[in-house]
Amino acid sequence: MDNLIDYVTKRLLRLRDQGLALEELKLNLGDLVDPTLVSFHLDQWIQIATEIGVKVLVLNLSYDYGTWDLSLCAIEARSLTKLHLGKGIRIGQDFLKYSMKLSSVKMLSLTRVLFAHELIIEHFISHCPLTEHLSMDHCYVYNHLRSEVPLESLFLHGLRKPMEVDLQGIQEVHIDSPNLENLCYEPLDFNTPFKLNFDSCTTLRSLILMHLQNIANVDKWFLELFSKHPFLERLEILYSMFGRIDIPSAQLKVLKLMYCSNLEVKVDAPNLLSFYYDGKYAYAYLPELQYSSIPPSIKHLEVTVDPNYDHKVLYGSYALLAFKLLPRNNFIHIWWS
């Protein structure tokens, strides 16, 4: 470890002394060492990196939560365009007292980060006005007993740029951004009700939903989805259980269903270009697609089924349907696993 510290420190100091810029600094300690034992050196490396114009900063420090306090110098890196903070990092109350200078950050990723307070999250994100990609994956906060608990709710507002948001491990999400184009969402607890409100995101073009179970009034939920988001072109549903749903959309071009059980789907999408279905682990039924509603414009049909579980499918129907509707130069892919 001493050799590693000495090597990194000398390299960074040499870059600074020679007046050279640094493109990326990535630190992945894992379980190699306790970050608290080398906190001085971590602070020093980040300080030097910010001084010499680092553009990409990636920190993954430990398998334990919140073992190292993020240095305040990290928020003074005006040159940063990508910032990833991973497990082992704690962001303390002091960050609320400072006006951050992350005005150039376009990609912000927070994975299993521990926040001292929920307000810090909004403060952090709001000081990255040019962010085009925001990712949050199973982050934590302190509760009133000063113990780490999963982040239960998140409110995003004032997002200015057209952007994509990837949120995983949060049970309640409210997004107020008319500029949101791509959204990926997975709740914390797969078996309890979730809240996902993105009604104001009227320009949404891509939606990915994972591990959603037992939505109340699921048919109504999907009907309202397409009426509230008329520009939605891509819909992916993964590892979910809904029951029967209708997908009516003149704008939808890509539909992807993976590992969804107890799901029956009626598709009315005249401009659909690509349909992908993988039912290998769908223990109940293959979606009953209304064949007449699959448009002749479709260019990509890919179906993966498992005959051990999908008892209702007539495999030949898929093949005949595909060859009837698709020109020879289009792509047809049917798997029997």
Q: Name the most confidently modeled range: 3-12, 54-63, 124-133, 256-265.
A: 3-12
Of the pLDDT bands very low, low, confident and very high (cuts 50, 70, 90), residue 311 is very low
Radius of gyration of the chain (CA): 24
Give just the sign of the alpha carbon dihedral 25, 28, 33, 39: positive
Q: Give the CA angle between residues 246, 248, 254 to the nearest 5°.
A: 100
CB 131 within 8 A of CB 125: yes
Of the pLDDT bands very low, low, confident and very high (cuts 50, 70, 90), residue 128 is confident
pTM: 0.84
Give the integer Cα–Cα distance in Å for 229 and 251.
10
Rounded to whole angstroms, the maximal C-alpha distance in the chain is 70
Q: What is the identity of the amino acid at 53?
A: G
* Residue 87 clears pLDDT 80, i.e. is over it: yes
Which helix H or strand E contains 176, and what residues bound it?
A: strand 172-176
Give the integer Cα–Cα distance in Å for 162 and 47.
31
Q: What pLDDT was estimated at residue 320? A: 42
Give the tens place of pLDDT for each residue, 153-191. 999 887 777 789 999 999 999 999 888 999 999 999 888
Q: What's the mean pLDDT when you consider all of the chain?
A: 81
Which pair of tokens denotes residue 92?
């303390």
Give the integer Cα–Cα distance in Å for 230 and 315.
33
CB 295 within 8 A of CB 303: no
Helices 2-17 and 39-51, axial angle in degrees (round to 10): 20
Share of residues in the chain with pLDDT > 70 (%): 79
Of the pLDDT bands very low, low, confident and very high (cuts 50, 70, 90), residue 283 is very low
Cα 244 versus chain centre, distance: 26
Give the tens place of pLDDT for each residue, 218-267. 888 999 999 999 999 999 999 887 777 888 888 999 988 887 777 777 77
In 3D space, the residue among 251, 224, 218, 250 whose CA is nearest the CA of residue 237 turns out to be 218
- The 3-state DSSP class for residue 107 equals strand
Give the integer Cα–Cα distance in Å for 197 and 207.
13
Q: How many helices (H) and strands (E) does the chain have?
A: 5, 23
Q: What is the identity of the amino acid at 264?
A: E
Give the integer Cα–Cα distance in Å for 155 and 270.
35
